[in-house]
């Protein structure tokens, strides 16, 4: 496969993958483009290479900065902003999971905690409490796990588990 064809396929696949996991396709594609770009790119570059509008490019570049997946870069003698991606896949994984944990997992954990305290002695109330308690337990564990994950932990973690489970 040609390098250029490969680059396109990667951008497409990363976009589809993100999209399946509730991450806006353009955002994932902009991220993919920067991931495989050797040099930092400016907004125009992103617009051209992905065929998207200025507004779209701007919006998703900002979102990616927000997620700590890319950073602004200044080029000497250039007025406009350039962007480059974090290339360490462990950091990428950590930043994505942290962001989503904050946005979606934490609110769920908080609600489940409340729901565990629903009063009542009926079989229904008991069953409800058991369910929400178990879910709360699971989500809290996940939450803690992600909270304390650092690159080395994750590496150890996955390696240990992979070996053990092989």
What DSSP letter does each residue of 30-89 carry, written as one string? HHHHHHT-SS-EEHHHHHHHHT--HHHHHHHHHHHHHTTSEEEE--TT--S-EEEE---H
Partner whose binding site includes residue 75, from DNA, a second copy, none (CB under 5 to 8 Å by kind): none
Q: Which of these ranges, 56-64, 84-92, 131-139, 144-152, lies near DNA under the rule CB under 7 A?
A: 56-64
Q: Provide the minimum distance between the beta carbon of 21 and a second copy in the complex, in angstroms, as a whole number.
A: 5
| 49 binding DNA? (CB under 7 A) | no
Q: In whole angstroms, give the CA distance from residue 50 to residue 30.
A: 8
State CA 140 to chain mean position distance.
19
Partner whose binding site includes residue 81, from a second copy, DNA, none (CB under 5 to 8 Å by kind): DNA
Q: In whole angstroms, give the CA distance from residue 8 to residue 32.
A: 10
- Which strands sit side by side in the sheet containing 70-73, from one edge to the other? 41-42, 82-85, 70-73
In the window 88-127, what residues touch DNA (CB under 7 A)? Answer: none
Q: In whole angstroms, give the CA distance from residue 126 to residue 148.
A: 33
| 51 binding a second copy? (CB under 8 A) | no
| 19 binding DNA? (CB under 7 A) | yes
In the window 99-118, what residues touch a second copy (CB under 8 A)? Answer: 100, 103-104, 107-108, 111, 114-115, 117-118
Phi, psi of 39 (to 5 degrees): -105, 155
Partner whose binding site includes residue 58, from a second copy, DNA, none (CB under 5 to 8 Å by kind): DNA
Among 13, 44, 102, 151, binds a second copy (CB under 8 A): 13
| 81 binding DNA? (CB under 7 A) | yes
Where do contacts with DNA occur on this chain (CB under 7 A)? 19, 24-27, 42-43, 51-56, 58-62, 79-81
């Amino acid at each position: 496969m040609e390098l250029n064809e490969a680059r396109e396929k990667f951008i497409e696949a990363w976009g589809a993958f993100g999209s399946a996991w509730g991450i806006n396709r353009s955002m994932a594609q902009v991220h993919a483009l920067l991931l495989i770009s050797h040099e930092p790119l400016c907004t125009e570059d992103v617009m051209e290479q992905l065929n998207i509008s200025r507004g779209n490019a701007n919006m998703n570049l900002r979102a990616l900065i927000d997620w700590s997946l890319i950073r602004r870069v200044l080029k000497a003698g250039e007025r406009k902003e350039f962007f480059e991606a974090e290339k360490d896949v462990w950091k990428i994984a950590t930043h994505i999971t942290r962001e989503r944990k904050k946005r979606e997992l934490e609110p769920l954990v908080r609600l489940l905690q409340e729901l565990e305290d629903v009063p009542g002695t009926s079989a229904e109330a008991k069953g409800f409490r058991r369910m929400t308690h178990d879910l709360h337990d699971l989500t809290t564990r996940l939450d803690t796990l992600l909270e304390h994950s650092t690159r080395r932990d994750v590496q150890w973690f996955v390696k240990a588990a992979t070996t053990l489970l092989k």
